[in-house]
Structure 1
Amino acid sequence: MMHKSRRMTEITCSSDAFEILKTHINPYAEELWIVALSPQLRVISKEMIFRGTADYCPVHPRDVFRFLIQKNASSFMMAHNHPSSSLEPSLQDFAITRKMHACGKLFQIPLLDHLILSEKNYYSMADHGFFKNLKKSSRWD
């Protein structure tokens, strides 16, 4: 007898990711969420990996990739909120995205997007061309 498998949510664009994460937004502290994806871009698991303060959240690739490897992810997205409701990426946001992108290439678990979330809207680094710029300057290919 075959069991019906639980249908996993598919992430085909940044708005799909926002939809599955917007209910988790903490208005008081920055949090970094990781979404582990299957080869078909279905959500395997999502988890808050780090919680910070009102304007800062420490992030370490080791903890992110431990989660991704344990979940057998093929790719991933990351998202964090700005309690200030500003969707403008900071210099630290760009720096951690570059670092996670490089680690993703090393582990062959590519980072597909980094979203900055507010309660009503989001900013997608992929939608704004950030990853295209990384590919142009990458020495990992």
Structure 2
Amino acid sequence: MEKNKVPLSSLPRERLLEYGVQALSNQELLAILLRTGSKKYSVMELSARVLTLFPSLYELKNASLTELQQISGVGQIKAIELKAMMELGCRIQRANQPKLGKVVTSFDLAHQLMFEMKDFSQEHLICLYLNTKNEVIFRKTLFVGSVNQSVAHPREIFREAVRCSAARIICSHNHPSGDPSPSENDRQFTKRLKQCGEMMGIEILDHLIIGSEEYVSLREEGFWN
């Protein structure tokens, strides 16, 4: 091998890193999954042999373990890995985004959160990420401690929204004192969230402040006007 020359078997990985997964051919993707070749064939040559015997991905998907093992260089382990990969791909294709319930009113959601957060001794900032039908597609506790503008930065909240393709967000945090009255910091934090949401096209539906037996919805309080 020439000095500093990239091994043939690593070329698909290098191309994926440089150009992205969509730029790779079926042969290159298969070579990455096979990982190694055999004594007789490089991994690229082996992937080419597989695709010669099963020229369409539909045929490859339906190949049996026995048929895969009949290819020189594909033993039982590689055949099992290929079948597992193809089944996982089929399951991913059929998968739907999980739904964690639907938000109908701030009142119902706030009472659910009061039950969950009533014994918290520290402030917790919980964000619910919704689709356009107000179905909760993701929920995450983003901060524990004092929720202020320097700690609870909007970029952390919107990073998760972009990751799960949320259309709307509801933020909620508790006041361990039991008094849900919003502080000036709460109002400023909510203002920043609304401004960021408007710029990104992701709506902030509400900011709920949870007390021991009461809650405050900043939307219901007229803060959205």
**TM-score, normalising length: structure 2:** 0.53
What is the rounded CA distance, in whole Å, between the counterparts of 2:212 and 2:107 in structure 1? 13
Q: Percent identity among equivalent residues?
A: 29
1:118 aligns with 2:211: yes
Which position in structure 2 is the counterpart of 1:96?
189
1:105 to 187, 195, 198: 198
1:18 to 110, 121, 132: 110
Deviates more, 1:26-35 or 1:73-82: 26-35
Structure with the greater alpha carbon radius of gyration: 2
What is the rounded CA distance, in whole Å, between the counterparts of 1:17 and 1:62 in structure 2? 24
Residues 54-77 of structure 1 show CA distances to partners (whole Å, capped at 9, x for unaligned) of: xx2221011101111111100111
Give the RMSD, CA atoms, in angstroms: 2.2
Question: Compared with structure 1, are the counterparts of its residues 123 and 36 closer, same or farther at alpha carbon in structure 2 (3 Å cutoff)?
Answer: same
Which position in structure 2 is the counterpart of 1:83?
176
Q: SS of the counterpart of 2:165?
A: coil
What is the rounded CA distance, in whole Å, between the counterparts of 1:34 and 1:40 in structure 2? 17
2:129 to 7, 12, 36: 36
Which position in structure 2 is the counterpart of 1:50?
143
What is the rounded CA distance, in whole Å, between the counterparts of 1:110 and 1:7 in structure 2? 19
Which position in structure 2 is the counterpart of 1:65?
158
| Matched letter for residue 209 of structure 2 | I
Offset of 1:18 from its aligned partner? Answer: 1.4
CA contact (8 A) 2:99 2:137 kept: no
Q: SS of the counterpart of 1:80?
A: strand
**TM-score, normalising length: structure 1:** 0.82
Offset of 1:101 from its aligned partner? Answer: 0.2
What is the rounded CA distance, in whole Å, between the counterparts of 2:98 and 2:189 in structure 1? 33
Uncovered stretches (5+) of structure 1, i.e. residues with no partner: 133-141
Write 1 or 2 for the structure with the bigger share of strand.
1
Offset of 1:15 from its aligned partner? Answer: 1.4
CA contact (8 A) 2:178 2:212 kept: yes
Uncovered stretches (5+) of structure 2, i.e. residues with no partner: 1-93
| Matched letter for residue 110 of structure 2 | F
Offset of 1:12 from its aligned partner? Answer: 2.0
| Matched letter for residue 10 of structure 1 | K
